[in-house]
């Protein structure tokens, strides 16, 4: 998807390949809200993952996730349907490969909201078109205390689940250096401005342009 007036060089004689934006952050950082805001702007196609996690109030099947059983998840792993998959906080999550490839090949940017293990799998994916498309961004919460506050404010986890997510957050925060970009989380508005700055710069890269 070409950004109006930005990625189109004079004469409109170029097309661009799609960018695969991979966003990771500890649970509660505000990444899902950030991704939802980006989705609404129509800048990307959001890749709806499969998960074995239970649906939360306010979520919608096929919009937030494809909610599937453990058996169905395993069947899809065996069939090679996932670009990456990982167990996160005791549930399984996976990115559907075909959906991502079709969009990228068509020149549309794709947004993935995945954990650090999934991002690592994509970084080591042997498919060169995925490597060329990849832009990975880590969102760093201000502090662990602030993260816990945000997680509690969300009110969707039990005390036990908050404990698990906080323990995982501490280790996930150590992975920021694996990412091309690290965005220090502030308010949602500021995070959006920062993310859009990365998005714009990446859309200008000469390597992504093709003469028509
Ligand atoms: P939640 O259950 O809060 O929606 O997500 C928990 C974690 O799973 C988040 O860190 C989210 O980024 C990650 N996640 C969501 N979908 C995928 C996926 O398809 N693959 C991987 N590896 N992680 C995912």
Is residue 71, in this structure, part of any structural domain at all?
yes
Report percent pLDDT > 70 for the chain. 95
Answer whether residue 139 is part of any domain. yes
157 C-beta closer than 6 A to ligand 1 = no
**Residue 4 pLDDT level (bands cut at 50, 70, 90):** very low
Q: Is 1 among the domain residues? A: no
Rounded to the nearest 5°, which phi and psi values hold at 21?
A: -85, 115
Domain total of the chain: 1
Q: Is residue 34 part of a domain?
A: yes
Is residue 118 in contact with ligand 1, taking CB distance under 6 Å? yes
Instruction: Compute the average pLDDT of residues 107-117.
Output: 96
Say what the pTM is: 0.90
Q: Is residue 8 part of a domain?
A: no
Whether 93 contacts 118, CB under 8 Å: yes
Q: Is position 125 within any domain?
A: yes
pLDDT tens profile 122-176: 999 999 999 999 999 999 998 999 889 988 888 888 899 899 889 989 899 999 9
DSSP assignments along 161-197, one per residue: HHHHHHHHHHHHGGGGGGSSEEEE---HHHHHHHHHH
Domain that holds residue 130: 17-205
Pocket probe mutation, ligand 1, options 64, 93, 110, max atoms within 8 Å of Cβ: 93
In a domain, 124, yes or no: yes
CATH code, domain with 68 = 3.40.50.300
**E strand or H helix at 51:** strand 50-51
90 C-alpha to ligand 1 centroid (Å): 11
Is 89 within a domain? yes
């Amino acid at each position: 998807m070409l950004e109006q007036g930005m990625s189109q060089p004079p004469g409109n004689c170029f097309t661009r390949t799609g960018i695969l934006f991979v966003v990771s952050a500890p649970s509660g950082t505000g990444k899902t809200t950030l991704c939802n805001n980006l989705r609404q702007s129509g800048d990307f196609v959001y890749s709806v993952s499969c998960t074995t996690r239970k649906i939360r109030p306010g979520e919608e099947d096929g919009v937030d996730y494809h909610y599937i059983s453990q058996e169905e998840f395993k069947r899809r792993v065996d069939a090679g349907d996932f670009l990456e998959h990982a167990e996160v906080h005791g549930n399984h999550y996976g990115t559907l490969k075909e959906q991502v490839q079709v969009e990228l090949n068509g020149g549309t940017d794709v947004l993935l909201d995945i954990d650090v293990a999934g991002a690592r799998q994509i970084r080591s994916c042997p498919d060169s078109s995925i490597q060329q498309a990849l832009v990975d961004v880590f969102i760093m919460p201000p502090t662990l205390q602030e993260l816990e506050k945000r997680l509690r404010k969300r009110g969707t986890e039990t005390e036990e689940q908050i404990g698990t997510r906080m323990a995982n957050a501490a280790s996930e925060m150590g992975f920021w250096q694996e990412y091309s970009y690290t965005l220090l989380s502030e308010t949602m508005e500021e995070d959006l401005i920062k993310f859009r700055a990365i998005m714009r710069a990446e859309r200008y890269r000469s390597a992504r342009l093709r003469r028509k």
